Amino acid sequence: MFEALREGLGEEMERDPNVCVIGEDVGDYGGSYKVTKGFSEKFGSWRVLDTPIAENSFTGMAIGAAMTGLRPVVEGMNMGFLLLAYNQIANNCGMLHYTSGGQFTIPVVIRGPGGVGRQLGAEHSQRLESYFQSVPGLQMVACSTPYNAKGLMKAAIRCENPVILYEHVLLYNLKEKIPDEEYTCCLEEAEMVRPGTDITILTYSRMRYHVTQAAKTLVDRGYDPEIIDIRSLKPFDMYTIGESVKKTHRVLIVEECMRTGGIGASLRSAIMESFWDELDGPIGCLSSQDVPTPYSGPLEELTVVQPHQIVTAVENLCGKK
């Protein structure tokens, strides 16, 4: 997947000389997960700008660059570090188009590794989607495969809105054959992973794989789950989600985000508001525990939703078969 991200970013830098990369170790080192490997030599140090450890400063610099016509891609070495740039992202990146009366567009992409890794500790296991979902003016997408990683990267760079692209730290080594010809993925569109009739399971990022793993057990037990990777965390693709709910009438949300104030809470609310009459039961939601992620491997695993919990939740929502 990291190669797909690099390919997408590289193609856009070749296509548009206004695209540039800003962040820590993005130059000679090639990025913390090698997404910009070789870019410094290819595009030069002005377009691949290594910065000091100063997230607030270089994120603000990227926003200012976007106001003047550039299309910066900001890499957070770890997404948790971008909390230091929260003011720039919330008050400037998201709002400047509105507060300038439409005089400025802010075509910035903010991307980097996040999520619960393997014993990275609490500060390196942040899920920032819950922090940024309420900021007006931001779009948010989460990639989950090499195919959609490249397609979402290219679409995000071309978008006139500021886009946060979430990449899960444990998915970088995923392998998949992707097309040689150019393509993009729609930033506002969910992906149907598996059609089914019994229950709609909505998920994204790494949890897509926990859900598909659980689905094998569910199918063996006679269930037919429909799995949707929502991909667009803001705005939600309510058309795709709604069509599925109208078919299955049951919903389970599976996320790695925190339970309190997370993506799942917002999605559950949106479904109840728009499709209440289509539901045959309560909406289930499996989320991470509201605790700092432990360094201990076994304890870390207990804080994140596991496949057996998904199986149990579906059986409870649909009834035993």
Assess whether 212 and 263 both reside in one domain.
Answer: yes
Supply 217's token pair: 């057990």
Q: Looking at the structure, tell me whether residues 78 and 206 fall in a common domain.
A: no
Last residue of a domain, one of 136, 168, 200: 168
Looking up residue 148, the CATH number of its domain turns out to be 3.40.50.970
Q: Residue 177 domain-assigned?
A: no
- How confident is the model at residue 14, as a pLDDT? 97
Question: Considering 168, 199, 226, which residue would you say is the last residue of a domain?
Answer: 168
Domain assignment present for 179 = no
d(CA 206, CA 308): 16
Contacts of 183 (CB under 8 A, 6+ apart): 150, 151, 154
Same domain for 159 and 195: no
- Kindly state the DSSP code that residue 97 receives in the 8-state scheme: H
What pLDDT is attached to residue 320?
76
% of the chain with per-residue pLDDT over 70: 100
Mean pLDDT of the chain, nearest integer: 96
Is position 178 within any domain? no
What's the pLDDT at 40?
95
Whole domain around residue 269: which residue ranges?
191-318
Q: Which pLDDT does position 105 carry in this prediction? A: 96
The answer on 224 and 90 residing in a single domain is no
Read off the pLDDT of each residue in 259-277 and give the average, rounded to a whole number.
96
Let me know whether 98 and 3 are in one domain.
Answer: yes
- Assess whether 5 and 147 both reside in one domain: yes
- Say which residues have a Cβ less than 8 Å from residue 63's Cβ, sequence separation at least 6: 72, 88, 92, 93, 96, 106, 108
Q: Give the integer Cα–Cα distance in Å for 300 and 315.
A: 25
pTM across the whole model: 0.96
Query: What is the CATH classification number for the domain harbouring 208?
Result: 3.40.50.920
In a domain, 264, yes or no: yes
Query: In terms of domains, do 56 and 141 share one?
Result: yes
Question: Is position 136 within any domain?
Answer: yes
β-strand pairing of 191-194 with 109-114: unpaired
CA distance 47 to 222: 54
Whether residue 127 is found in the same domain as residue 244: no
* In the predicted structure, residue 321 carries a pLDDT above the cut 90: no
How much is the pLDDT for 260? Answer: 92
pLDDT score, position 249:
97
pLDDT per position as a tens digit, 272-312 = 999 999 999 999 999 999 999 999 999 999 999 999 999 99
The whole-angstrom separation of Cα 94 and Cα 70 is 16
164-214 pLDDT per residue, tens: 999 999 999 999 999 999 999 999 999 999 999 999 999 999 999 999 999
Residue 300 and residue 265: Cα distance in Å, rounded? Answer: 22
183: in domain: no
Residue 269's pLDDT band (boundaries 50, 70, 90)? very high
Q: Report the number of distinct structural domains present in the chain.
A: 2
Sheet holding 19-23, edge to edge: 48-50, 19-23, 71-75, 109-114, 163-168, 139-142, 232-234
Task: Look at residue 91 and tell me whether its pLDDT is greater than 80.
Answer: yes
Do residues 107 and 46 share a domain? yes
Is residue 235, in this structure, part of any structural domain at all? yes
Over residues 220-243, the pLDDT tens digits come to 999 999 999 999 999 999 999 999
Same domain assignment for residues 67 and 142: yes
How many other β-carbons are positioned within 10 Å of the β-carbon of residue 134?
A: 12
Active-site positions read 55, 124
Angstrom CA distances, 135 to 156, 161, 284, stand at: 17, 13, 26
